[in-house]
Structure 1
Amino acid sequence: MSNVNELFRLDDKVALVTGSSSGLGAAIAIALAQAGAAVATHGNSRPAEKTAAAIVAAGGKAEAFQADLGSVDGPKELFAQAVAKFGKLDILINNAGTIHRDAAVDTTLESWQQVLQVNLTSVFQLSQLLARDVIAREAKGKIVNIASLLSFQGGIRVPAYASSKGGVAQLTKALANEWAPKGIQVNAIAPGYFATTNTEALQADETRNRQILERIPAGRWGQPEDLTGAALFLASRASDYVTGSIVTVDGGWMGR
């Protein structure tokens, strides 16, 4: 039987974390590096060099890459860049995402398609690329998708985002069913309300902030580091018998 600490080690593994220039993605990338993985960080409008530099400064191995996941060709370009640098990918964290807030009757097809491409289609594209490579190498792999509380709830004024995150949850299950026999576990994390740049407006709105905190049993906003334990678990051998699961990290929101 393996030492339990060894189950969480990622030595000799290579991980790609999309959307890791800041916030949740950066925290996850740094955590995986601390567990021993070489990490490909990724950004588009916000470069991910700062995250890679922090990993290297702490004695880890990382390289930053840029790609537009809102483009159909972006996922393939990103995957090719990372493999060219590291030789392989074992772990994929599909964290990159975008949101468009508007009434459903006013949402344009262009904005709808952009959100779906970044949040759902690119997740499938990158997952497919990883699976093909891992299966060809007769290796093992881990895919962790970042879902949302709106994988379960409808939200307001975010029809494309809610649809994309509901799709991420179902895609996670579908891929898990197909790839478990191939040694690839596919799971998702559904974060609750986290204190990031994406939620600054909500935090600054006194009424909305109070309403959110009243609903969260933990009584506080999540911090990026609160997500790293679940991410490391699902990216490591500790979760080899866990697949098709959606793990909520929400301070108790969904149980309220």
Structure 2
Amino acid sequence: MDLDLNGRGVIVTGASKGLGRAAARALAEEGADVLAVARTEESLRELAGERFPGKIHPHVCDMRDRAQVSALAELAAGKLGRLDIVVNNAGIAPAANFLEMDMGVFDEVMEVNVAAVAVLSQAAARVFVESGTGGRIINVVSTSGILGKATLAAYSASKGAAIQLTKALAAEWARHDIQVNAIAPGAFATEAQAYVTGNPEVLAKRVRKIPARRMADPGEFAPLVCYLASAKAKFVSGAVYVIDGGETAKQ
């Protein structure tokens, strides 16, 4: 299926590793020009050095800095020549017993996982409306935002908020031909899950909770990003796509 992403301008946050890196690669493979955003310059430059039909442009940004985040949309439009798609993937997930959690940590999680998503979405939507061509926003949330998980109260709350933000913006911006959707990944074998994947007993315990009896590869996440970024999904908005091997379905 030709997704017709050649020459499209895309922002992917949290692009230096994991699901963000997989999304940036897949979009560039489809011919899109990607502003790959993260805090780690070395990893971004490695990614930009790979060869794709599209081009990856590295950009260092601290998602806790609202001024930096707000500037991304105009920066991408200028550097790429246009802005069509935003993938809000950057996020943090510090684990802690909530009885002992420092509320400063809670605030930081909300800043990165919710406020930064809102700030960049607003800035991108303004570019979309001004261009008159519409656009796509894809928010990477989590099954933790659907079920809630012990020791991840801040993360679960932030992802639940991001899901509702997705739905509200989809309803508000549909008249501008802006589609806003979310993807809720479950257990993926990324760097963030190194403790699980690197410990056979922990891994076995984790996969027993998943009907598919395995963790997913980041490459299984990227095709859905590309579909939602394409014109094939122009009537899809306000949806939350769960990719978790059936884990939430059994609840």
TM above 0.5, one fold? yes
How many Å apart are 1:77 and its aligned residue?
Answer: 3.3
Give the corresponding residue for 2:55: 61
Runs of 4+ in structure 1 displaced over 4 angstroms? Answer: none
How many Å apart are 1:33 and its aligned residue?
Answer: 1.1
Aligned mate of 1:73, from 67, 73, 77: 67
Amino acid at match of 1:18: T
- Is residue 26 of structure 1 aligned with residue 21 of structure 2? yes
Give the corresponding residue for 1:131: 125
- Is residue 52 of structure 1 aligned with residue 42 of structure 2? no
Kept in 1: contact 2:16–2:47 (CA 8 A): yes
Q: Distance in 2 between matches of 1:221 and 1:228?
A: 15
Quote the sequence identity (%): 34
Give the corresponding residue for 1:89: 83
Amino acid at match of 1:17: V
Kept in 2: contact 1:28–1:228 (CA 8 A): yes
Kept in 2: contact 1:39–1:62 (CA 8 A): yes
Q: Distance in 1 between matches of 2:223 and 2:248?
A: 19
Kept in 2: contact 1:66–1:78 (CA 8 A): no
* Structure 2, unaligned runs of 5 or more: none
Q: Distance in 2 between matches of 1:60 and 1:201?
A: 34
Aligned mate of 2:12, from 12, 17, 42: 17
> CA offsets, 1:36-86, max 9 Å, x none?
2111111103541222221xx234222100010012222023334323312
Q: Give the 3-state SS of the residue equivalent to 1:251 in structure 2.
A: coil
Amino acid at match of 1:242: V
Kept in 2: contact 1:41–1:49 (CA 8 A): no
> CA offsets, 1:168-211, max 9 Å, x none?
11000000000111100000000010001101112234443222
Kept in 2: contact 1:22–1:51 (CA 8 A): no
Aligned mate of 1:213, from 184, 207, 210: 207
- Is residue 195 of structure 1 aligned with residue 189 of structure 2? yes
Kept in 1: contact 2:9–2:76 (CA 8 A): no
Kept in 1: contact 2:109–2:154 (CA 8 A): yes
- Is residue 109 of structure 1 aligned with residue 113 of structure 2? no
Q: Give the 3-state SS of the residue equivalent to 1:104 in structure 2.
A: coil
Q: Distance in 2 between matches of 1:58 and 1:92?
A: 19
Q: Distance in 2 between matches of 1:250 and 1:100?
A: 21
- Is residue 185 of structure 1 aligned with residue 179 of structure 2? yes
Q: CA RMSD in A?
A: 1.4
How many Å apart are 1:87 and its aligned residue?
Answer: 2.9
How many Å apart are 1:123 and its aligned residue?
Answer: 0.3
* Structure 1, unaligned runs of 5 or more: none
Q: Distance in 1 between matches of 2:198 and 2:25?
A: 28
Amino acid at match of 1:104: F
How many Å apart are 1:26 and its aligned residue?
Answer: 0.9
Q: Which deviates more from structure 2 when the two are superposed, residues 59-68 or residues 207-216?
A: 207-216
Give the corresponding residue for 2:144: 150
Amino acid at match of 1:35: E
Q: Distance in 2 between matches of 1:141 and 1:61?
A: 19
Give the corresponding residue for 1:43: 38
Kept in 2: contact 1:23–1:197 (CA 8 A): yes
Kept in 1: contact 2:221–2:243 (CA 8 A): yes
- Is residue 223 of structure 1 aligned with residue 223 of structure 2? no
Kept in 1: contact 2:74–2:127 (CA 8 A): no
TM-score w.r.t. length of structure 1: 0.93
Amino acid at match of 1:31: A
Kept in 1: contact 2:138–2:181 (CA 8 A): yes
